[in-house]
Amino acid sequence: MQITHDDLAAFIPSLQQPGPRTLLHVGCGTASPKRMPACFQGSDWQEVKLDIDPTVRPDIVASITDMAAVANASVDAVWSSHNLEHLETHQVPTALSEIRRVLRPGGFALINLPNLERIAQLITQGRLEDVLYTSPAGPVTALDMLFGHSPAIQRGNHYMAHRTGFTAKRLGAQLTQAGFSEVRITPGTSYDLWAVAITHAK
């Protein structure tokens, strides 16, 4: 699913202004900048990488539940791709509060994660272990989307285990409870959800 600058600028006023912007890429892993959403591909974005795993060589080694190394209201956007499901359920509100804390007024978070409703449909259709698509990490099944990518976990990467999950309703409620002023959630094309959560502008 492609999300462009123009898609977001239509309802995020801060993106309608020119100038350099800072993107905090949480849970960056080893992903190439070329794999980021189209909305962050412009030369006006400076990417700061944050990850709990030091072996991926992020700019900041930290958990998204404690980003003390990132100052309050210091970034224009946060990009989180398939991170929140790796937290314990009780840690999710803390992570979302941290994401909101580091965003400038009028900033936004773009979040992508598995859609439990679509996964449940696959399971009831008897497709639990069917290969549904191939990611950079390898083939992905509904079982992988539910509990984490099995081959990666088998290789010892326990950061890949999933410990919670989200429907559109649950994700929207938690983002609202975290204090975001506007939340928009859209089902993706790969059994996933996309959320845009905007902070209050001054």
| Neighbour tally for 74: CB within 10 Å | 14
List, for residues 52-81, the tens digit of each pLDDT value: 999 999 999 999 999 999 999 999 999 999
pTM of the model: 0.94
| CA pair distance 20, 45, nearest whole angstrom | 6
The chain-wide mean pLDDT, for the chain, equals 94
Q: What percent of the chain has pLDDT over 90?
A: 78
| pLDDT on residue 32 | 79
Q: β-strands 45-51, 21-26: how paired?
A: parallel
130-to-65, 72, 127, 133 alpha-carbon distances in Å = 33, 44, 5, 9
DSSP label at residue 161: B
